[in-house]
Structure 1
């Protein structure tokens, strides 16, 4: 079984009644009716096509792709920085 990389997309909607139509773009993980957005996960290889298609829909206000892939996750120097800070 091969794992597929997935990316989170936050889609802001004009009206929440269109939430069900977003199921064809990926798995809906979370939806917020007050702020009118839906968080869904899609395959990484299809992310460009999905975002372009979502932006063309008339009931979509904005689309944000998660920046998690580009965030620095190497914390090897975190312990040394803390020790230097604690030594007066």
Structure 2
């Protein structure tokens, strides 16, 4: 079994009733009705295609990628230690 690399997209909508329309593009893991956004996982090889399709929809206001891949994951020891 091969592990498929996925990427999280944050999609902002004009109205939350359109959430059911974008389910066909990926797997929705979280939706916030107050701020009108959806977290969605899509396959890494189809990200560009899906972002282009979603950006053309009239009820999508903004699309951003997950900031996790840009975070520093390995920390060196600090110059000063408290203990």
- TM-score using structure 2 length: 0.91
Q: How many residues align?
A: 83
Q: Tell me, yes or no, if structure 1 residue 86 matches structure 2 residue 76.
A: no
Unmatched segments (≥5 aa) in structure 2: none
d(CA) in 1 for partners of 2:20 and 2:44? 22
Map of 2:70 onto structure 1: 70
Q: Tell me, yes or no, if structure 1 residue 17 matches structure 2 residue 13.
A: no
d(CA) in 1 for partners of 2:29 and 2:4? 17
Q: Tell me, yes or no, if structure 1 residue 45 matches structure 2 residue 41.
A: no
d(CA) in 2 for partners of 1:38 and 1:81? 37
Which has a greater percent of helix? 1
Displacement of 1:67 in angstroms is 2.5
Larger radius of gyration: 1
d(CA) in 2 for partners of 1:18 and 1:86? 52
Unmatched segments (≥5 aa) in structure 1: none
- TM-score using structure 1 length: 0.86
Q: Deviations over 1:36-84 (max 9, x none)?
A: 1111000111111111111000010000111222322112x1xx316x2
